[in-house]
Structure 1
Amino acid sequence: MYVNRFRYKTAEKNLESIEDLEEAREFTDAILAFIQVEEKDEAKDVGSREKKLVNHLKWTARKNQAQRIILHSFAHLSESKASVPFTHELFNRAEKRLQNAGYETAQTPFGYFLDLQIDAPGFSLARIWADL
């Protein structure tokens, strides 16, 4: 999703293994990627999942002339969920690859429910969905 403005604030921790965190950040003119990593993804190499994810995000960023990409773990798009270590590794690898390609990146806090404020324009390429 292309966003004019995106703001989040940590609200509730939902993974005990994650460190306690209180954080609020705001971004403008960015791609906000709601990402669900599924159990079936673990049967494939993390590198192949990383490549597909990054290629799609770069395509989306180019179409929206955005240089900023925010990775948001959104484990509510399917009943199937990959393990926490696999998901975390995929996010970290994808972020590094995007940075190496010249994108400014961020990840929302992993393992937290967040208060979200999203300002997104209403044109077709602002909202792109893909099953990778």
Structure 2
Amino acid sequence: MRILLIHADYVNYEVETRGKFAEEITPDRKEGSLEDPLIAFVSIEENDENSGTESGDLVEKAFREIRKVASKIKVRNVALFPFAHLSESLSSPDFAVSVLKDLEDRFKKSKFNSFRAPFGWYKEFEFRSKGHPLSILSRTVRLN
């Protein structure tokens, strides 16, 4: 799993067009916004799916990495964006959606204010990044 983390003043998204592998969404998920978020652009990779371990282990490790950065920059708002552009070797869409949903649930159970942008939709999104030393980071999460 590859993650690009950006601390922003705000983030907004609105779905535009359904892609080939788009998940079904309810009307309330067609847009979202957060103030002072840590945005996590997440790409689930083929080796994540084929690692032979439970996806829960991957979710927990990713959660800890994102939470660690959120703690350092003192934010409780996390925006999760599926972002296939971080990898050339992607997992299946079904596996990616499952991992992203579990990661979203993990943040909500930990009392973070969060949203997960829908998988497989072309989205218009806007954010304004901050400019401090921890405002843009990347992480690679591996199970083996």
TM-score of the superposition, structure 2-length normalised? 0.84
Does residue 13 in structure 1 map to residue 4 in structure 2? no
Instruction: Give the aligned partner of residue 117 of structure 1.
Output: 126
Aligned residues: 132
Deviates further, 10-19 or 53-62: 10-19
CA deviation after TM superposition for structure 1 residue 25, in Å: 2.1
SS in 1 for 2:37: strand
What per-residue deviation string (whole Å, max 9, x for no partner) do you get for residues 50-76 of structure 1? 111100111011011110111100001
CA deviation after TM superposition for structure 1 residue 20, in Å: 6.6
**Aligned partner of 1:30 among 24, 30, 37:** 37
Instruction: Measure the CA separation in 2 of the matches of 1:55 and 1:20.
Output: 27
Instruction: Give the aligned partner of residue 129 of structure 1.
Output: 138
Higher normalized strand content (fraction of residues) = 2
Instruction: Measure the CA separation in 2 of the matches of 1:65 and 1:17.
Output: 33
Instruction: Measure the CA separation in 2 of the matches of 1:74 and 1:81.
Output: 10
Report the AA paired with residue 2 of structure 1. H
Provide the identity percentage: 23
Instruction: Measure the CA separation in 2 of the matches of 1:17 and 1:103.
Output: 26
In structure 2, stretches of 5+ residues that fail to align are 1-5
**Closer, same or farther in 2 for the Cα pair 1:129/1:17, shift >3 Å?**
closer
Instruction: Measure the CA separation in 2 of the matches of 1:11 and 1:84.
Output: 19
In structure 1, stretches of 5+ residues that fail to align are none
